[in-house]
Protein backbone atom coordinates (compact mmCIF):
# COMPACT_ATOMS: atom_id res chain seq x y z
CA UNK A 1 0.00 0.00 0.00
CA UNK A 2 1.26 3.45 -0.93
CA UNK A 3 0.19 6.95 0.08
CA UNK A 4 0.17 9.95 -2.25
CA UNK A 5 -0.73 13.48 -1.17
CA UNK A 6 -2.33 16.53 -2.72
CA UNK A 7 -3.04 20.14 -1.83
CA UNK A 8 -6.69 20.93 -1.01
CA UNK A 9 -9.19 21.76 -2.25
CA UNK A 10 -9.77 18.75 -4.51
CA UNK A 11 -13.16 17.96 -6.02
CA UNK A 12 -12.93 14.16 -5.96
CA UNK A 13 -16.64 13.73 -6.66
CA UNK A 14 -16.19 15.59 -9.95
CA UNK A 15 -12.94 13.80 -10.89
CA UNK A 16 -14.28 10.31 -10.23
CA UNK A 17 -17.51 11.21 -12.02
CA UNK A 18 -15.51 12.41 -15.05
CA UNK A 19 -13.54 9.16 -15.15
CA UNK A 20 -16.60 7.01 -14.43
CA UNK A 21 -18.41 8.47 -17.45
CA UNK A 22 -15.45 7.47 -19.63
CA UNK A 23 -14.55 4.13 -18.01
CA UNK A 24 -13.93 1.23 -20.40
CA UNK A 25 -15.62 -1.93 -19.13
CA UNK A 26 -13.11 -4.70 -18.52
CA UNK A 27 -10.30 -2.16 -18.08
CA UNK A 28 -11.63 0.25 -15.46
CA UNK A 29 -14.10 0.26 -12.59
CA UNK A 30 -14.86 3.68 -11.11
CA UNK A 31 -17.16 4.13 -8.14
CA UNK A 32 -18.06 7.21 -6.14
CA UNK A 33 -15.15 6.50 -3.79
CA UNK A 34 -12.47 4.60 -5.74
CA UNK A 35 -10.69 4.12 -9.06
CA UNK A 36 -9.58 0.63 -10.15
CA UNK A 37 -8.01 -0.47 -13.40
CA UNK A 38 -5.81 -2.99 -15.13
CA UNK A 39 -2.42 -1.67 -16.16
CA UNK A 40 0.75 -2.86 -17.87
CA UNK A 41 4.21 -1.36 -17.93
CA UNK A 42 6.77 -3.27 -19.93
CA UNK A 43 6.58 -6.92 -18.89
CA UNK A 44 4.71 -6.06 -15.69
CA UNK A 45 0.95 -6.19 -15.44
CA UNK A 46 -1.67 -6.14 -12.77
CA UNK A 47 -4.38 -4.13 -11.02
CA UNK A 48 -4.18 -0.64 -9.51
CA UNK A 49 -6.68 0.58 -6.94
CA UNK A 50 -6.74 4.21 -5.74
CA UNK A 51 -8.95 5.47 -2.91
CA UNK A 52 -8.94 9.17 -1.90
CA UNK A 53 -9.27 10.27 1.72
CA UNK A 54 -10.64 13.80 1.54
CA UNK A 55 -10.06 14.54 5.23
CA UNK A 56 -6.40 13.45 5.25
CA UNK A 57 -5.75 14.79 1.72
CA UNK A 58 -4.22 11.46 0.73
CA UNK A 59 -4.66 8.90 -2.00
CA UNK A 60 -4.22 5.31 -0.85
CA UNK A 61 -2.87 3.15 -3.68
CA UNK A 62 -2.82 -0.63 -3.79
CA UNK A 63 -0.88 -2.49 -6.49
CA UNK A 64 -1.26 -6.16 -7.27
CA UNK A 65 1.91 -8.25 -7.06
CA UNK A 66 2.75 -8.04 -10.73
CA UNK A 67 3.13 -4.25 -10.61
CA UNK A 68 5.25 -4.03 -7.46
CA UNK A 69 8.58 -3.99 -9.40
CA UNK A 70 7.39 -0.84 -11.21
CA UNK A 71 5.61 0.73 -8.26
CA UNK A 72 7.33 4.12 -8.57
CA UNK A 73 6.38 4.44 -12.23
CA UNK A 74 2.78 3.44 -11.47
CA UNK A 75 2.57 6.09 -8.76
CA UNK A 76 3.94 8.71 -11.16
CA UNK A 77 1.31 7.74 -13.72
CA UNK A 78 -1.43 8.04 -11.09
CA UNK A 79 -0.12 11.47 -10.16
CA UNK A 80 -0.50 12.48 -13.81
CA UNK A 81 -3.99 11.00 -14.08
CA UNK A 82 -5.26 12.81 -10.99
CA UNK A 83 -3.19 15.99 -11.37
CA UNK A 84 -1.89 15.57 -7.83
CA UNK A 85 0.95 18.09 -8.27
CA UNK A 86 -1.45 20.95 -8.95
CA UNK A 87 -1.28 23.98 -6.69
CA UNK A 88 -4.96 24.98 -6.71
CA UNK A 89 -4.39 28.29 -4.94
CA UNK A 90 -2.12 29.46 -7.76
CA UNK A 91 -4.52 28.29 -10.48
CA UNK A 92 -7.60 29.72 -8.79
CA UNK A 93 -5.94 33.08 -8.22
CA UNK A 94 -5.21 33.28 -11.95
CA UNK A 95 -8.74 32.22 -12.93
CA UNK A 96 -10.46 34.55 -10.48
CA UNK A 97 -14.27 34.35 -10.39
CA UNK A 98 -14.31 31.57 -13.01
CA UNK A 99 -13.04 29.07 -10.43
CA UNK A 100 -15.39 30.09 -7.62
CA UNK A 101 -18.02 27.41 -8.28
CA UNK A 102 -15.49 24.54 -8.35
CA UNK A 103 -12.25 25.59 -6.65
CA UNK A 104 -11.15 21.94 -6.38
CA UNK A 105 -11.35 21.18 -10.10
CA UNK A 106 -8.31 19.35 -11.45
CA UNK A 107 -7.11 18.51 -14.93
CA UNK A 108 -7.74 14.82 -15.69
CA UNK A 109 -4.61 13.37 -17.25
CA UNK A 110 -4.00 9.75 -18.19
CA UNK A 111 -2.14 6.62 -17.15
CA UNK A 112 -0.76 6.02 -20.63
CA UNK A 113 -0.44 8.57 -23.46
CA UNK A 114 -0.85 5.97 -26.21
CA UNK A 115 -4.09 4.76 -24.66
CA UNK A 116 -5.27 8.36 -24.39
CA UNK A 117 -4.45 9.00 -28.05
CA UNK A 118 -6.52 5.97 -29.03
CA UNK A 119 -9.40 7.17 -26.86
CA UNK A 120 -9.20 10.68 -28.32
CA UNK A 121 -9.62 9.27 -31.84
CA UNK A 122 -12.43 6.95 -30.73
CA UNK A 123 -14.24 9.92 -29.19
CA UNK A 124 -14.60 11.83 -32.44
CA UNK A 125 -18.20 12.71 -33.34
CA UNK A 126 -19.72 10.30 -30.81
CA UNK A 127 -21.10 10.70 -27.30
CA UNK A 128 -18.93 10.23 -24.22
CA UNK A 129 -20.82 7.00 -23.47
CA UNK A 130 -20.26 5.65 -26.98
CA UNK A 131 -16.57 6.53 -26.85
CA UNK A 132 -16.27 4.53 -23.62
CA UNK A 133 -18.04 1.55 -25.21
CA UNK A 134 -15.74 1.70 -28.23
CA UNK A 135 -12.67 1.81 -25.96
CA UNK A 136 -13.95 -1.29 -24.16
CA UNK A 137 -14.61 -3.10 -27.45
CA UNK A 138 -11.14 -2.29 -28.77
CA UNK A 139 -9.62 -3.56 -25.53
CA UNK A 140 -11.66 -6.77 -25.70
CA UNK A 141 -10.64 -7.33 -29.32
CA UNK A 142 -6.94 -6.49 -29.13
CA UNK A 143 -5.87 -6.46 -25.49
CA UNK A 144 -4.34 -9.15 -23.32
CA UNK A 145 -6.65 -10.78 -20.79
CA UNK A 146 -5.72 -10.91 -17.11
CA UNK A 147 -8.69 -13.12 -16.32
CA UNK A 148 -12.22 -13.79 -17.57
CA UNK A 149 -13.42 -10.34 -16.56
CA UNK A 150 -10.32 -8.12 -16.81
CA UNK A 151 -8.43 -7.05 -19.91
CA UNK A 152 -5.46 -4.76 -20.48
CA UNK A 153 -5.83 -1.83 -22.86
CA UNK A 154 -3.97 -2.86 -26.03
CA UNK A 155 -0.38 -1.87 -26.56
CA UNK A 156 0.75 -0.22 -29.78
CA UNK A 157 2.23 -3.48 -31.11
CA UNK A 158 -1.09 -5.26 -30.57
CA UNK A 159 -3.20 -2.56 -32.20
CA UNK A 160 -0.76 -2.24 -35.10
CA UNK A 161 -1.67 -5.77 -36.21
CA UNK A 162 -5.43 -5.31 -35.92
CA UNK A 163 -7.65 -5.95 -38.93
CA UNK A 164 -9.26 -2.62 -39.89
CA UNK A 165 -12.47 -4.41 -40.86
CA UNK A 166 -12.61 -6.10 -37.45
CA UNK A 167 -12.25 -2.67 -35.83
CA UNK A 168 -14.93 -1.28 -38.14
CA UNK A 169 -17.25 -4.05 -36.98
CA UNK A 170 -16.98 -2.66 -33.44
CA UNK A 171 -18.96 0.40 -34.55
CA UNK A 172 -16.56 2.90 -36.13
CA UNK A 173 -15.91 4.14 -39.68
CA UNK A 174 -13.17 2.25 -41.49
CA UNK A 175 -11.19 5.52 -41.80
CA UNK A 176 -11.14 5.75 -38.01
CA UNK A 177 -10.00 2.15 -37.74
CA UNK A 178 -7.20 2.88 -40.18
CA UNK A 179 -6.27 5.98 -38.17
CA UNK A 180 -5.90 3.84 -35.03
CA UNK A 181 -3.66 1.37 -36.83
CA UNK A 182 -1.59 4.20 -38.28
CA UNK A 183 -1.29 5.72 -34.81
CA UNK A 184 -0.02 2.40 -33.44
CA UNK A 185 2.61 2.09 -36.19
CA UNK A 186 3.68 5.71 -35.67
CA UNK A 187 4.01 5.17 -31.91
CA UNK A 188 6.11 2.02 -32.44
CA UNK A 189 8.37 3.91 -34.85
CA UNK A 190 8.78 6.77 -32.37
CA UNK A 191 7.16 9.27 -34.72
CA UNK A 192 4.10 10.01 -32.62
CA UNK A 193 4.93 12.45 -29.77
CA UNK A 194 3.66 10.55 -26.71
CA UNK A 195 5.45 12.91 -24.31
CA UNK A 196 4.87 16.63 -24.17
CA UNK A 197 7.23 18.67 -26.38
CA UNK A 198 8.76 21.89 -25.15
CA UNK A 199 6.64 23.88 -27.60
CA UNK A 200 3.07 22.69 -26.99
CA UNK A 201 1.56 24.88 -29.71
CA UNK A 202 3.91 23.46 -32.33
CA UNK A 203 3.33 19.99 -30.92
CA UNK A 204 -0.41 20.34 -31.44
CA UNK A 205 0.24 21.33 -35.07
CA UNK A 206 2.44 18.24 -35.46
CA UNK A 207 -0.34 16.02 -34.10
CA UNK A 208 -2.63 17.29 -36.86
CA UNK A 209 -0.30 15.85 -39.52
CA UNK A 210 -1.32 12.32 -38.51
CA UNK A 211 -4.29 10.72 -40.31
CA UNK A 212 -7.55 11.02 -38.41
CA UNK A 213 -6.34 13.72 -36.01
CA UNK A 214 -7.89 17.13 -36.52
CA UNK A 215 -7.63 20.32 -34.50
CA UNK A 216 -10.09 19.31 -31.74
CA UNK A 217 -8.61 15.82 -31.28
CA UNK A 218 -5.06 17.17 -31.22
CA UNK A 219 -5.91 19.73 -28.56
CA UNK A 220 -7.90 17.25 -26.48
CA UNK A 221 -5.02 14.78 -26.57
CA UNK A 222 -2.60 17.54 -25.55
CA UNK A 223 -4.93 18.43 -22.69
CA UNK A 224 -5.07 14.90 -21.28
CA UNK A 225 -2.24 12.90 -22.90
CA UNK A 226 0.40 15.56 -22.26
CA UNK A 227 -1.55 17.19 -19.42
CA UNK A 228 -0.82 20.52 -21.06
CA UNK A 229 -1.97 23.32 -18.76
CA UNK A 230 -2.61 26.05 -21.32
CA UNK A 231 -4.95 24.57 -23.95
CA UNK A 232 -8.14 26.36 -24.99
CA UNK A 233 -10.55 24.87 -27.55
CA UNK A 234 -12.10 28.00 -29.01
CA UNK A 235 -13.86 26.03 -31.75
CA UNK A 236 -15.33 23.41 -29.40
CA UNK A 237 -19.12 23.09 -29.76
CA UNK A 238 -19.93 23.88 -26.12
CA UNK A 239 -17.39 26.70 -25.97
CA UNK A 240 -19.06 28.26 -29.01
CA UNK A 241 -22.35 28.09 -27.13
CA UNK A 242 -20.87 29.69 -24.02
CA UNK A 243 -19.29 32.45 -26.15
CA UNK A 244 -22.38 33.03 -28.28
CA UNK A 245 -21.97 35.83 -30.78
CA UNK A 246 -18.18 35.73 -30.67
CA UNK A 247 -15.88 34.35 -33.34
CA UNK A 248 -13.25 31.75 -32.37
CA UNK A 249 -10.60 34.46 -32.73
CA UNK A 250 -12.49 36.71 -30.30
CA UNK A 251 -12.93 33.78 -27.92
CA UNK A 252 -9.21 33.00 -28.01
CA UNK A 253 -8.46 36.66 -27.34
CA UNK A 254 -10.84 36.67 -24.34
CA UNK A 255 -9.26 33.48 -22.97
CA UNK A 256 -5.77 35.01 -22.87
CA UNK A 257 -6.67 36.46 -19.45
CA UNK A 258 -6.35 32.94 -18.01
CA UNK A 259 -2.87 32.16 -19.29
CA UNK A 260 -0.97 29.99 -18.44
CA UNK A 261 -3.87 27.96 -16.99
CA UNK A 262 -6.33 27.99 -19.87
CA UNK A 263 -6.83 24.19 -19.67
CA UNK A 264 -8.35 24.64 -16.23
CA UNK A 265 -10.41 27.56 -17.51
CA UNK A 266 -11.73 25.35 -20.30
CA UNK A 267 -12.87 22.70 -17.81
CA UNK A 268 -14.53 25.28 -15.59
CA UNK A 269 -16.45 26.70 -18.54
CA UNK A 270 -17.49 23.23 -19.71
CA UNK A 271 -18.77 22.28 -16.29
CA UNK A 272 -20.26 25.57 -15.03
CA UNK A 273 -23.87 25.62 -16.17
CA UNK A 274 -25.02 28.96 -17.54
CA UNK A 275 -21.57 30.58 -17.52
CA UNK A 276 -21.08 33.43 -19.98
CA UNK A 277 -18.23 35.88 -20.58
CA UNK A 278 -18.36 39.27 -18.89
CA UNK A 279 -18.22 41.77 -21.71
CA UNK A 280 -17.74 45.45 -21.03
Cα–Cα distance for residue pair 105/80, rounded to 1 Å? 14
Catalytic residue among 83, 149, 236, 253: 236
Please write down the long-range contacts of 149-155, taking CB distance under 8 Å and 24 or more positions apart.
149/26, 150/26, 150/27, 150/38, 150/47, 151/26, 151/27, 151/38, 152/27, 152/38, 152/39, 152/40, 152/45, 153/24, 153/27, 153/38, 153/112, 153/115, 153/118, 154/118, 155/40, 155/114
Residues 130, 126, 161, 193, Cα dihedral to 10°: -120
Does the annotation count 236 as an active-site position?
yes
Give the other-Cβ count within 10 Å of 252's Cβ: 16
Q: Are 145 and 178 in contact (CB under 8 A)?
A: no
Give the catalytic positions in this structure.
236
Amino acid sequence: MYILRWQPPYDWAWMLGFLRDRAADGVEVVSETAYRRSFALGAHRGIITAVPDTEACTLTVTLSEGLLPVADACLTRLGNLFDLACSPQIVNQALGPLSAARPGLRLPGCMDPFEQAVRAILGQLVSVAMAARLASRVAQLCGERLDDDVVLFPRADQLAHADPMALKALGMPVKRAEALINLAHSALAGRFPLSAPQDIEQGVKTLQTFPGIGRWTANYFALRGWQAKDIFLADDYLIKQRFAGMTPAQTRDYARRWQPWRSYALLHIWYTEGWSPQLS
